[in-house]
Structure 1
Amino acid sequence: MELMKLLRAAGVGALLSLTAIAPLAAYADNEPLKIGVPMPLTGPLAGGGRMILEGIKFAADEANKEGGVLGRKIELIIEDTKGEPNTAAGIAARMANQQKVYAFVGGYGSTPDFAMLQSVKRNQPIFIHVGSSSVKLEETFGPEPWYHHIYIVDYHRQKAVAAFLDSMNPKPKTVAIAYEDGLYGSDAVKFSDEYLKKAGFDIVMKEPYKTGSPDLSPVLNRVKSLDPDVFFFVGYSGDNIQIARQQQDLGITPKLTLIVSAGEKREDFGAFGKGIAVVGEWAPEQKTEGLDEFLARITPALPANTKVLPTVVMGYTGMQTLIEAVKRAGVVDREKVLAELDTGKFKTPFGEVEYGDGERGGKHQLLSEKNLVAWQYRDTGQQVVWPADKANGKLAYPVGK
């Protein structure tokens, strides 16, 4: 109810109520498959959105170079949601009802994506949702047969954070949490209460902030006064970079700063990033079968100076699984493609994965806490430090030792 109030206040309510059912597009032989790609390409979520788009484009380009899918070229219909609920809802409705896309691959940002999915749920499109993690998405759309989700859900991350901290030696005792005040951060702190406390950690601070805030010193000064073992910061890419720079500027040096991977790269932090630990879905240094070959293919295909980030891999995997499902079905028939998505196993840069049941109602969840890794920024570059079977380095804790 609170979410719907938020969306209606943003002017989304009228649009949601007017969305009509659109029939699936009929595809003549050899007609391109139109794939809707609604992504935030400007605004505060643009960093991650642009990286996801690079992965989607690479997977589509690879398929097209091999003749397409079942003889059909893939045509991407890309539009900028700006990370705004009303804009995202309008774009998705237009793609479904007017542009008659075959399927969707995209989305990044829990609040705008909730509005976007509400706007097309009556159409029941094939929707590969790449980037958002709010549990409200799983609870609301997860049971739908047409909805498939790549990214972890917030409780997966908190399970992984608890396991990561529990593996540390010495084991930390106190954790201070700062979180962005939207769906993304609010769910994160809710599940931190559940999983970190269950693992025996004392949460000494839970402080919200508004994403894109230029001044995070109130949060940091409270961290300084509490002196926790771990400062856990849940934010988007720009927020993560901002907190790293400001805590050094203010001379605030927690024993360990832990952030959530959100599309940024080591170079974005410069000297401010040394020692920061990151929990994310994937790292190029991790030990995964077939990963070196994938990196050799994708790296030269990306724009100059673009790193292969977890968000790139998420976008690639979303498009890859759709392409493979269509190929395995042998036809573009919606029900047969959905059946292949539901039952197939896919070899991806994350390893071999499948869409399975989530814990909060989702029926088609690809990643979980089992796929998450932790890495730590060094003077330059990074090393995967957890779990042991994927690690190529050891955690420095407390930072500086």
Structure 2
Amino acid sequence: MKKIVSVIMVSFLFLLSACSGGASGDGKGSGKSETIKVGALYPLSGGLALLGEESFRGAELAVEEANKNGGIAGGKKIKLVKGDAVDADAAQAEANRLINQENIKSIIGSYSSSISFAASEVAERSGVLYWELGAVSDSITDRNYKYVLRTNPPASNFSKVHIDFIKNVVTKKLGKSLEDIKVAIAHEDSSYGTTIADEATKLAKKEGINVVANQGYSAGTNDLSSVILNIKKAAPDVIIAVSYLNDSILLARQSEELGLKVPVFIGSGGGHTMSDFKDAMGEKANGIFDIDFPQYQINREVTPGIEQFIKLYKEKYGQEPRSGHSLTNYMGMKVVLDTMDKVGEVDPDKLKEEALKYTAKVGSTVTGWGVEFDKKSGQNKLSQPYVHEWINGELKTVWPENVAVEEPQIGNQ
């Protein structure tokens, strides 16, 4: 009797094993039950969680949309395996966990440059493909790693747009020559803020623009009075600010308290983009510019699919998108999914080879960007930030003209 029971149990276990054989974390297997696991490394708790979560939502929506439409490569479904990377140390630990415990061969992320820099280093050592969909530091792709691809623009592109906007728009609106414009820079001192500030300073010098102050600070500070007073003393025409949410609100509030007023204030993504910034500042947000990823008040003719994205977002999360970070990650994830669809698996070398062949024309994606990866660095060469302005409580795209829905308002806010 014991032998009979044993035989039955072994047969039953074998049957269960055979029935579950279609699902695999490494993309191998057969049939429509197969699931491909992709790591999703974002700051989902802690001080960076607001935009970290917003960024993840974009990738999540792209995956859900693909799965609902039958999956990829003949019916394979994608599963995002989360990793909560609150800082660089956690990013390394979570990347190792995803790779070694979850058997992940492809990771997306990550919003924060310091997190991306650390996690992509782990991925490179492990031969795992790292897709950056939102972090901007140039150093992420400047290392020319074999297994790093980035769909969004680098920080140096933000700096270039800052200087081009000052050169082509601000000087005319203020009636000043380029050499008479005085610019001050206030930036948080992580890789994100420092890269944009340093590059903007270099480009300004090249154009003959006078940078009268360059003030770095910790994003976690609760007092920016010394930074503001130093800038006030320099009496700039333009402030370039690089901030996360909390310090962007602190900078605006303490500037008001200390009487710092400038004709043109230009943020750089992060905090100045979010609806939370507008909610905190009320009418005082009006007139503030922000150079960032594509936002939602934008020329629909060059951003096909944006209405569908907004609809999906509202259905899933019950609110309007909080910033363009979700839109940018949605676009980037669609590139990842398109590439996986063609390859049919998550082999890092095959995906990288296919990605380098991937092209999309400018104005053909939901962000308005094109896609063409630099073969050496892995950077998408056809992505760029745009200039937005808070006008009557709405963040509207104002420059360049091909994506704008309204002209920049300077001197009359």
Deviations 1:227-252 (A, max 9, x none): 10001111122222221222223332
1:351 aligns with 2:364: no
Describe how 1:110-189 pairs up with structure 2 within 5 A: 110-140=113-143, 143-168=144-169, 169=172, 170=174, 171=176, 173-189=181-197
Coordinate RMSD, CA, aligned: 2.1
Matched, 1:307 2:321: yes
**SS of alignment partner, residue 105 of structure 1:** strand
Contact preservation (8 Å) 2:151, 2:371? no
Residue 362, structure 1, aligned to residue 377, structure 2: yes
2:354 match? 340
Match of 2:77 in 1: 73
Does the alignment pair 1:48 with 2:60?
Answer: no
Report if the CA contact (8 A) 2:224-2:251 is conserved. Answer: yes
| Conservation of the 8 A alpha-carbon contact between 1:374 and 1:386 | yes
Matched, 1:245 2:277: no
In the alignment, residue 199 of structure 1 is paired with which amino acid?
E
TM-superposed deviation, 1:178: 1.0
Query: 2: CA distance between counterparts of 1:284 and 1:90?
Result: 35
Match of 1:378 in 2: 391
Contact 1:33–1:102 under 8 Å retained in 2: no
Equivalent of 2:330, from 311, 316, 322? 316
- Identical aligned residues as a percent: 24
Deviates more, 1:49-58 or 1:327-336: 327-336
Query: Any conservation in 1 of the 2:268–2:292 contact (CA below 8 Å)?
Result: yes
- Alpha-carbon offset, residue 85 of structure 1: 1.4
- How many angstroms does 1:264 deviate by? 1.7
Residue type of the partner of 1:257?
F
AA aligned opposite 2:114: T
Residues 378, 293 of structure 1: CA spacing in aligned structure 2 closer, same or farther, 3 A cutoff?
A: closer
Alpha-carbon separation, structure 2, partners of 1:75 and 1:95? 13
Give the alignment's TM-score, normalised by structure 2: 0.84
> Which consecutive residues of structure 2, in runs of 5 or more, have no partner in the other structure?
1-24
Alignment map for 1:24-35 (pairs within 5 Å):
25=26, 27-29=28-30, 30-35=33-38
Give the partner amino acid of 1:79: G
Of 292-301 and 227-236, the range deviating more from structure 2: 292-301
The aligned length equals 370
Which residue matches 2:4?
Answer: none
List per-residue Cα deviations over 1:305-326 (Å, max 9, x = no partner).
3425220012112211111112
Q: Deviations over 1:43-101 (max 9, x none)?
A: 2221211110110110010011112222122111112111x111110000110111011
Q: State whether residues 149 and 366 of structure 1, in contact with CA within 8 Å, keep that contact through their aligned partners in structure 2.
A: no
Q: Give me the whole-angstrom Cα distance separating, in 2, the residues matched to 1:222 and 1:158.
A: 22
Query: Counterpart in 1 of 2:204?
Result: 196
Measure, in 1, the Cα distance between the counterparts of 2:121 and 2:333.
22
SS at match of 1:282: coil
Change (3 A) 1:103 1:75: same
Q: Which residue of 2 aligns with 1:12?
A: none
Q: Secondary structure at the match of 1:311?
A: helix
> TM-score, normalising length from structure 1?
0.86
1:293 Cα deviation after fit: 3.6
Provide the rounded CA distance (Å) in 2 between the counterparts of 1:208 and 1:289: 35
